[in-house]
A = this chain, B = another copy of it.
Amino acid sequence: MEQKIQVGIVGATGYAGVELIRILLSHPSAQIAALASVSFEGKQISQVYPAFRGICDQTLVSVEDTISASDVVFASVPHGVSEELAVKCVEQGKLLIDLGADFRLEAEKDYKQWYGLDYKHPALHGQAVYALPELFREQIQAAKILGNPGCYPTSIALALAPAAKAGLISPEGIVVDSKSGTTGAGRGLTQNTHFSECDEAFSAYKAASHRHTPEIQQTASRLFGCPVALTFVPHLLPVRRGIFSTIYTQLVKNVTPAQIQATYEEFYRDEPFVRVLPQGSLPNITNVTYSNYCDLAFVKDEHTGRLILFSVIDNMVKGAAGQAIQNMNLKFGLPETTGLMLVPPAI
């Protein structure tokens, strides 16, 4: 029998961490070697999350022990912390898949502007790539550090890519109106995620100033082949999981809906995790929750010449843990779908 990939998770008790655990527990070619948590070291993960009782009762250990026990380290830690982790992983020859923001931005000035920090180890960033497999698969193969994409940016990049690459839409005037479930805000307690104040509520937040903006623009710029400035407004949905992005673009080619549909279907023909819905259907976050799927659809607004794109993912899966495992599979030469053909519950 083949050796399984030994996986370590740093930040194991955060939401992305426990979602990694959920998926890895059913992965046929990987196993959890060690789990690190600063807040709960010494406790069992199932004491923190009783859903795992009897399924995963591993004791939470230190970051150092986790790195040394692992072939690959998933990190879900505050920005600024991953860089230090990366130094250690690279030294020990371990792959680092970072679910945070430290390795997503190519321009240090963007990182500095949006996160307020300088790169402490600039050389490291040359070994890192932005790891959205459907769009940048080749670069991922060679890298030692993967910057796993953010949840909003994933939903947006996958929707924009076919139309942008085919030159159907303008790089100018794009508006992205996204809505996310509360798990995107993590385990930390806040007044606006307190049930009594979040239930039956709905609002925008960080309008035109969310930190995912430079990441969204960076990928859009790569797709269009020119600098893109767009407007991004996220909103908080009173649901646990799911991101819904409504993207307003301007058509620059005279194309029929059937041609647009064909462009999208062709682009994602061989991608197991992207489902282009038939014309007339719109996606719903419930159709992808707990799975690694991204469902895409569009409407051509004849009235204004706009192409409106609709994209849904589970922010915890394709938007975080699932995509990270997809990247692990890719790096270890496994089919990307290994352990990831999670069926979204129909109800």
Q: A21 contacts B246, CB within 8 Å?
A: no
Over the window 230-246 of chain A, the binary record of Cβ atoms lying under 8 Å from chain B Cβ atoms (1 yes, 0 no) is 11010101111110101
Q: A310 contacts B207, CB within 8 Å?
A: yes
Output the least CB separation between A261 and chain B (Å). 15
Q: A240 contacts B207, CB within 8 Å?
A: no
6 extra interchain contacts, Cβ-Cβ under 8 A, other than A199-B239, A200-B286, A231-B301?
A175-B248, A200-B239, A201-B239, A201-B284, A207-B282, A208-B308
Interchain Cβ contacts under 8 Å between A and B, 15 examples? A18-B347, A26-B341, A51-B346, A54-B275, A177-B246, A179-B179, A179-B235, A182-B196, A187-B196, A193-B195, A199-B200, A200-B240, A204-B246, A208-B299, A208-B301
Which residues of B lie under 8 Å from residue A343 when comparing CB positions? 22, 25-26, 51-52, 55
Knowing A207-B299, A208-B303, the reply to whether A195 touches B347 (Cβ < 8 A) is no
Q: Does A53 contact B (CB under 8 A)?
A: yes
Which residues of B lie under 8 Å from residue A198 when comparing CB positions? 195
**Among candidates B173, B237, B295, residue contacting A237 with C-beta atoms closer than 8 Å:** B237
Complex-state Cα separation, A203 to B243, whole angstroms? 10
Q: Does A190 contact B (CB under 8 A)?
A: yes
Identical chains in the assembly: 4
Which residues of B lie under 8 Å from residue A190 when comparing CB positions? 189
Interface residues of A, CB < 8 Å — how many? Answer: 83
Over the window 290-326 of chain A, the binary record of Cβ atoms lying under 8 Å from chain B Cβ atoms (1 yes, 0 no) is 1000010001010110101010000010000000000
Residue of B nearest to A286 (CB): B201
Which residues of B lie under 8 Å from residue A347 when comparing CB positions? 15, 18-19, 49, 183, 187, 196-197, 240, 316
**Among candidates B196, B199, B207, B229, residue contacting A304 with C-beta atoms closer than 8 Å:** B229
Which residues of B lie under 8 Å from residue A175 when comparing CB positions? 175, 177, 248, 306
Which residues of B lie under 8 Å from residue A275 when comparing CB positions? 53-54
Which residues of B lie under 8 Å from residue A204 when comparing CB positions? 244, 246, 282, 310
Q: Does A202 contact B (CB under 8 A)?
A: yes
